[in-house]
Amino acid sequence: MINTSEIESLKSENQKLRNYISLVFAELELTQRIGEIKQNFVNSSDSERIIVPILNKISKIKSEKLTLEQEMHLI
List C-alpha distances in Å: 34 to 18, 47, 52, 67, 68.
Answer: 25, 9, 9, 24, 25
**Which range is least confidently modeled, 18-22, 40-44, 49-53?**
40-44
| 29-45 per-position pLDDT tens digit | 999 999 999 898 877 78
DSSP designation for 42: T
Q: What pLDDT is recorded for position 21?
A: 97
Structural domain span for residue 12: 4-72
Angle, helix 45-71 to helix 4-40, in steps of 10 degrees: 160
Q: Chain centroid to CA 45: how far?
A: 27
> Is the pLDDT reported for residue 67 higher than 80?
yes
How many domains does the chain contain in total?
Answer: 1
pTM: 0.86
Higher confidence at residue 57 or residue 46?
A: 57
Q: Measure the CA–CA gap between 69 and 75, rounded to whole angstroms.
A: 6
Local confidence band at 48 (pLDDT 50, 70, 90 cut-offs):
confident
